[in-house]
Structures are given as structure tokens and as C-alpha cells.
Amino acid sequence: MNLPASMRRHLLSGVIIMSGITAAHADDKITLDVLYTTPGTFNSLQKGLAKRFTETHPDIEIKFRNPVKGYEEAAQEILRGQITNSMPDVVFNGINQIGLFVDRGIGAPLDSYIKTDGGLDKLGYYPTLARLGTWKGKQYGLPFAVSTPILYVNTDLVKAAGGDPDKLPNTWTELIKLGKAIESHAKSPVTGLYYQWEQTGNWLFQTLVTSKGGHMLQPGSCKIGFNSDAGKWALQTLESFGKSGMPNLALGQARQSFASGTVGIMADSTSYVAAAEKQINGAFGFKTMPFPLADAKGQLPAGGNVAMVLSTDAKRQAAAWEYVKFVTGPQGQTEMANLTGYMPGNRIAVEQADLLGNFYASHPNHTTSLKQVPVLGEWASFPGENSLKIIEVIKDHTEALITARATVTDTMPKLVQNVNALMPAECK
């Protein structure tokens, strides 16, 4: 079709204008670089949440890095990224690592964003769980997937040994005794009691210390606090597991053994509850029970991870906040709790029947963690450049007790000496 020159110029200018608008919108789109851990647990969840988020935020794209195995690996990647100026915009990292990052200048305070959006209460965060994301008075992270230590119980094996799965013993001495009874009454070889000591960040060693009323670090100080009666008791308890003949299983191996019906009672994180129910699929009676406190003042360290914003650019930081707010908000936390055994940090999700209210009513094994919120405490992070090395040192000593290669008498002074050697000068 032959058009007049004036009309062709008009149409051409319109195309140029529209192209400019399209280009401007393309330039405005932000792609967030996101890192998470434990792909076996979080892959489908993270991808699903990103899809839901971008449907309502078309100007923001989520690009995941290859997820890493655990929190220590994530921390190493982030610390390397600080040196090479290649940190992610959002990271889902262990609760115990907030101080490690912030003390190195990594992480954006979220307080102003939270205030602008109405405050923590309006957004629905449990105060106790929100505090897990603070460091030196500022909010650097928000709870994404919170775990507590619990007991996984094969009720069939417990009943066969003459025990009551609804009234388990509340001391480790009695639990070990019940474990041996389970082994002697089982029709085939089983492990009566397994303590998942290998959890990331020495989490279940810390649990023993704090359940006895002790502390990994002295309150109000950066000096070690586990060189105490509570710390000695925790080491003695680990030693008693080794002496009882408990095998030394890798984390995944222990969980698979429980799901296959060859472990009677297992102390582990709530993060495995959903997977355990799916794997067991009614093959035997399964229920969860609270982790036993050894002292009236005992607490349990809150495990799991928080979402942190690491962006320093203002626009990217604002976009990252929108994503963090979504995944830790009612909708994100509903998806998270449904697909994992972790506890949600958002009260709105838990209280609304159409979100998680009905879910918890029909999934009692998931409620054990919620019942332990009143006794949740800090998952301690060691200060200084050697924080991650200290975790490995404690792990080595812990394994020596579990495998009966060492005694508490030898371990306590060596552990104190080895950890102190890696602490900052002002903390010794």
C-alpha cells in the first residue's frame, strides 16, 4: 500500500516512540541474584515461590545461583563474593551466620522498609522469631524456614518394647535405656535411639548445652561459655551415646534408616517432618515429640534460615525487599510449611484457616515445633575470622565422643584450648 509521505513519517515516529517505551521498560526490569542452600529440601519450593512472585511483580526477575549443600558452604561463597564484588542480592542463610556477615559489612538493615510497610506486627511476624534476624539492635533478616529440635518416634517399635510413645522418658539416660529395649525386642536388627549429632553449625551439640540451661558464649560477652557444668553434661551425654553402641551415620543415612523402619527414636530437626511422612506413607506408626529439656531454665536454639538482602544499590535493594517480604509473608510461608517440616515465621499464615490453620489441624506432627516456640533461644555464632573453622573443630571433637574414640575428661580441655586458639584476642 502506498501511503503519503507525511503519514509514513507519522507512523515511523510512532514506532520509534513505542520502541523507546519498550526499551525503557526493559531497562527498568531488575533481575535479582538469589542464593539458597539444601537443594533437596528447597528446590521445588524456591522455584515455585519465584514463579508466584514474578506473576505479580513482572518488573522483577528471579535468577537462582546453583544452590549449595549447606549453610557453611553458602557463607564461604558469600565471603568470597565480598572480595570479588559478586555477592547475591538475596541469600537464605543459617540463622547463626547473621553476625558473621554483618560484622564484615555484609547485609542491608531492613528496618526502614519494615517501618514503611507498617511494622513487623502488621506484616504478621512472630516477635520471638523476628528477633532471630536481628544483630546489634537492627533487623538484617526475616525468618523463612525455622526449625526446632524434636524427637521422631516409630510408635510400633516403642510399643513392642513396652514403651508408651505418648509418654516418652524425659531424660537421655532413660531414652538410651528405652532404645536398648527397642533393639532387644525388635524382630530384626534396628537402632533403638539415634542422635543426629552431625547437624550443621554444631546445632544439636548446642541444643544439649542450652537445654541444660547453659550457653555457648557467655551472656553479654564474646568469650566461650560452654566450659561449664552444662557444657560438660552435654559432652557426657554425647559420650553416653557412643558408649551405648549407637552407630555413626551420615545425616541422610540416618533419616533414610528411620523412614525404612530401622530406627526407633531419632533426635533431629523439624525440617525433615514432611519428607518423613511422605517416605513412611503409613508403613508404621509415626509421631513427633518435643525435645527433652534437662533444666527448668533450658532453651532450644532456633535453627533454620533467614532471608537477607545483600544488595547495596538502592533500586536492587528495594526490589530485593519486595521478594523477601513475599517469601516470608503469609503466602510464602504457607507454601514453605506445606512442602517442608520447617516452622513458619508469619503469624497470619498460621492463624488463617485457608492458609495454614486447616493444615496444622490435620497434620499434628507439624505442630510439635510450634509448641516449642516459648523455649526458643539463640543459635550461637562464634565471633571473628575463624567462625567457620571453630564449627569444624567442635564437630571433630563431637565425632570423637560419638564414636567412643575419646572421653569427656580428655575432650573438654582440648576443646576449650582449640576453640580459644581461634577466637579474636579480645574474646579469650
Q: Is the model's pLDDT at 5 over the cut of 60?
A: no
Instruction: Summarize pLDDT for 270-305 with one digit per residue, the tens.
Output: 999 999 999 999 999 999 999 999 999 999 999 999
Mean pLDDT of 54-70: 97
Please say if the pLDDT value at position 200 is more than 60.
Answer: yes
Per-residue pLDDT of 355-378, as tens digits, reads 999 999 999 999 999 999 999 999
114 Cβ contact partners less than 8 Å away, ≥ 6 residues apart = 120, 123, 139
Dist CA 383 CA 219 (whole Å): 14
Task: State how far the alpha carbon of 406 is from the alpha carbons of 35, 97, 397, in Å.
Answer: 38, 29, 8
What percent of the chain is modeled with pLDDT above 90?
Answer: 92
pLDDT at 27: 58
Give 90-99 pLDDT, tens digit per residue.
Answer: 999 999 999 9
The Cα–Cα gap between 413 and 404 comes to: 17
- Average pLDDT, rounded, for the chain: 93
Across 379-399, average pLDDT: 94
Q: 207-232, pLDDT tens digit by residue?
A: 999 999 999 999 989 999 999 999 99
Residue 12 has pLDDT above 80, yes or no: no
Q: What is the pLDDT of residue 297?
A: 95
Query: What pLDDT is recorded for position 28?
Result: 81
Q: Tell me, what's the pLDDT at 372?
A: 94
Please determine, for residue 127, whether its predicted confidence score (pLDDT) is greater than 70: yes
pLDDT digits (tens, 9 = 90+) for 13-26: 444 333 343 333 44
Residue 119 pLDDT exceeds 90 = yes
- What's the CA gap between 345 and 94, in Å, rounded? 14
Contacts 24+ apart (CB under 8 A), 420-423: 420/224, 422/382, 422/384, 422/386, 422/389, 422/390, 422/393, 423/222, 423/223, 423/224, 423/382, 423/383, 423/384, 423/386, 423/390
- What is the average pLDDT across 47-72? 97
428 in Cβ contact with 223 (< 8 Å): yes
> 329-361, pLDDT tens digit by residue?
999 999 999 999 899 999 999 999 999 999 999
Q: Is the pLDDT of residue 58 over 90?
A: yes
Query: Could you give all domains of the chain from N- to C-terminal order, each with its CATH number?
Result: 30-147+302-377 (3.40.190.10), 149-297+382-427 (3.40.190.10)
More confident residue, 1 or 154: 154
Q: Is the pLDDT of residue 8 over 60?
A: no
Amino acid at 199: Q
The Cα 386–Cα 75 span in angstroms is 12
